[in-house]
């Protein structure tokens, strides 16, 4: 066979393409498990840092050893026997019967659908709840902000707030990731004595003389719309359609 024939050149070309794609596929398959591991690790990092626990435990891994993952029925406010490892929010929101559509009136956080079950994280200390880490989400300016709100064992004091996914503009709405801004949340209160959710991001800076100083967080300049989204998602998820039933049950159980 002539080495320089068109047929031979085509044969070698196709052969090389097939070999390269086989090598790339193999590498992709090998890397998939590493990628999945990294996704889990990244999420754990966000969970732990929402509660500011990495310093206390020295590492994310150590902190995770003291954190229990549970699945909660939001309407009942009760823990359900569902394996948290098989839980995925995106799947819950696709499967009929596992979510409800929200009316415009109830959809404070503009999320359209709310899952029936939610995956929650609890940090225990001496067999008692020390921190409750709740998944929250709500529309910002450009898309849904996904994050974790960590609250202390009084179920009213904020331990921290951390977002793990959003589409806000760098330098504007994306300043919700700025450590300085996130630090402002620690110690703020969620519920007034009458049970009303009062925690909110205000426009401008919180005044030292404000009557609501414990319930207010400084706004981000040029990002009022994202900040409103944060206020709305807190109002929704800490209210009766969100985690309030679960929190009330925990309060009754005195755990």
Ligand X SMILES: Cc1cc2nc3c(=O)[nH]c(=O)nc-3n(C[C@H](O)[C@H](O)[C@H](O)COP(=O)(O)O)c2cc1C
Site for ligand X in 94-153 (CB under 6 A): 141-142
Radius of gyration of the chain (CA): 23
Whichever of 84 and 204 has its CB closer to ligand X, that residue is 204
- Which residue of 66, 157, 192, 224 would you call a contact of ligand X, by CB under 6 A? 224
Between 97 and 170, CB nearer to ligand X: 170
222 binds ligand X (CB under 6 A): yes
First-to-final CA distance of the chain? 82
> Could you give the count of Cα atoms lying within 13 Å of 186 in the half-sphere of its Cβ?
10
Stretch that binds ligand X, among 4-12, 177-185, 222-230, 231-239 (CB under 6 A): 222-230
Q: Which is nearer to ligand X, 93 or 225 (CB)?
A: 225
Residue 225 touching ligand X (CB under 6 A)? yes
The residue of the chain with the least Cβ separation from ligand X equals 173
When asked if residue 232 is in the footprint of ligand X (CB under 6 A), the reply is: no
Q: Within the chain, where are the H helices?
A: 6-50, 54-57, 60-65, 89-92, 179-183, 224-237, 244-253
To ligand X, the closest distance from the beta carbon of 104 in angstroms equals 22
* Residue list 160-179, contact with ligand X (CB under 6 A): 168-169, 172-173
* Nearest C-alpha neighbor of 154 from the set 133, 183, 132, 121: 132
Total residues found in the chain within this entry? 255
What's the CA gap between 6 and 75, in Å, rounded?
A: 70
Does position 202 bind ligand X by CB under 6 A?
A: no
Query: How many Å apart are CA 159 and CA 150, to the nearest integer?
Result: 5
Nearer to ligand X (CB atom), residue 79 or residue 225? 225
DSSP bridge partners of 115 = 99
* Selected binder of ligand X within 226, 231, 232, 245 (CB under 6 A): 226
Report the residue number, 107 or 175, with the smaller CB distance to ligand X: 175
Assess 223 for contact with ligand X (CB under 6 A).
yes
Q: Which is nearer to ligand X, 184 or 225 (CB)?
A: 225
How many whole angstroms separate alpha carbon 43 and alpha carbon 31? 18
Q: Considering only the C-alpha atoms of the chain, give the largest distance between any 2 of them, rounded to a whole number of Å.
A: 92
- Which residues of the shown chain bind ligand X in the complex (CB under 6 A)? 141-142, 168-169, 172-173, 221-226
């Amino acid at each position: 066979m002539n080495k320089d024939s068109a047929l031979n050149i085509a044969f070698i070309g196709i052969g090389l393409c097939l070999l390269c794609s086989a090598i790339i596929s193999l590498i992709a398959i090998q890397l998939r498990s590493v990628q999945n591991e990294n996704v889990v690790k990244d999420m754990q990092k966000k969970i732990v840092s929402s509660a500011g626990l990495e310093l206390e435990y020295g590492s994310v891994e150590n902190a995770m050893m003291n954190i229990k993952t549970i699945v909660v029925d939001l309407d009942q406010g009760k823990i359900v026997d569902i394996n948290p490892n098989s839980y995925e929010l995106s799947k819950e929101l696709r499967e009929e019967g596992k979510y409800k559509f929200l009316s415009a009136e109830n959809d404070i956080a503009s999320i359209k659908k709310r899952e029936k079950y939610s995956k929650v994280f609890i940090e225990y200390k001496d067999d008692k709840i020390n921190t409750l880490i709740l998944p929250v989400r709500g529309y910002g300016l450009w898309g849904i902000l996904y994050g974790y709100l960590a609250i202390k064992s009084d179920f009213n004091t904020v331990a921290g707030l951390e977002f793990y996914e959003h589409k806000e503009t760098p330098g504007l709405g994306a300043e919700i990731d700025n450590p300085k801004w996130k630090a402002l949340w620690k110690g703020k209160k969620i519920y007034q004595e009458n049970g009303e959710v009062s925690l909110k991001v205000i426009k401008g800076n919180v005044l030292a003389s404000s009557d609501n100083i414990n319930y207010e967080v400084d706004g981000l300049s040029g990002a009022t719309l994202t900040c409103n989204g944060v206020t709305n998602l807190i109002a929704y998820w800490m209210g009766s359609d969100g985690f309030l039933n679960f929190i009330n049950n925990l309060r009754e159980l005195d755990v």
